[in-house]
Amino acid sequence: MALGSLNDLYRDKVILDHCRNPRNSAVLDLPDVSCEAINPFCGDEIRFQINLDDSDRVREVGFQGEGCAINQAAGSIVSEALNGLTLTDVLDLSKKFSRIMEASLPKDVVVADKEAINLGELSALYKVREFPVRVKCALLVWSALDSGISTLA
């Protein structure tokens, strides 16, 4: 009935999979980077631990979170997407993702639509754009990472 009309956000295979089986949920001891963020408006919480390899690339990630499905899926998807990136890469990806999610001028949206396709599993989160209020649920992971990494520098 009513929900027949719902956009397929909550039916997306990738999101479903990550919600049901969150990846990298173990807490890492003594990580190189550790960070968290909370969204005071909804009480969502996210925590990351990151270990780097010899060439300063992400080798291992721990992710734990509480909150809505979008926040959970985002944390799990991102925990995988970080693999092999330098911390600078992570910040760049964060910027890019936020830009894509928050594009509002028509010409920016066209660009965002295109860029979103090439984000691997992260693309699934692009659907959240149709629920603007929920975009911040998909962005909370990134503010955790941004703040954690920038305190290092």
Partner 1 sequence: MLDVQKIRNDFPILGREVNGHPLVYMDNAATTQKPRQVIQALVDYYENFNANVHRGVHTLSMEATDMYEDARKKVAKFINAGDPDTVIWTRNASESLNLVAYSWARENVESGENIVLTPMEHHSNLVPWQELTREKNAAIRYIPLDNEGVLDLSDIDSIIDDRTALVSVVHMSNALGTVNPIKKLCDLAHARGAKFLVDGAQSVPHMVVDVKEIDCDFMAFSGHKMMGPTGIGCLYAKKDVLEGMKPFLTGGEMVLEVSYEKASWADLPMKFEAGTPNIADAIALGVAVDYLEDIGMANIDEYERDLTGYALNKFIDVEEEGGKLFGPRNPDQRGGIISFDTPDIHPHDLGTLLDQMGIAVRTGHHCAMPLVRSLGVAATSRASFYVYNTKKEVDVLIEGILEAMRYFRDGVR
**Closer Cβ to partner 1, 16 or 119, answer by number:** 16
| 8-state DSSP, 86 | B
Shortest CB 20 distance to partner 1, Å:
7
Distances (CA, A) of 7 to 113, 120, 134: 17, 20, 13
Residues 80-139 that bind partner 1 (CB under 8 A): 131-134, 137
**Terminal Cα distance for the chain, rounded:** 52
Burial class (CB in 10 A: 0-12, 13-18, 19+), 70: buried
66 binds partner 1 (CB under 8 A): yes
Rounded to whole angstroms, how far apart are CA atoms 70 and 14?
11
**Would you say 50 or 146 has its CB closer to partner 1?**
146
Binder of partner 1 out of 24, 48, 50, 67 (CB under 8 A): 67
- Applying CB under 8 A, the residues found at the interface with partner 1 are 1-3, 5-6, 10-11, 15-16, 19-20, 38, 40-45, 66-70, 131-134, 137
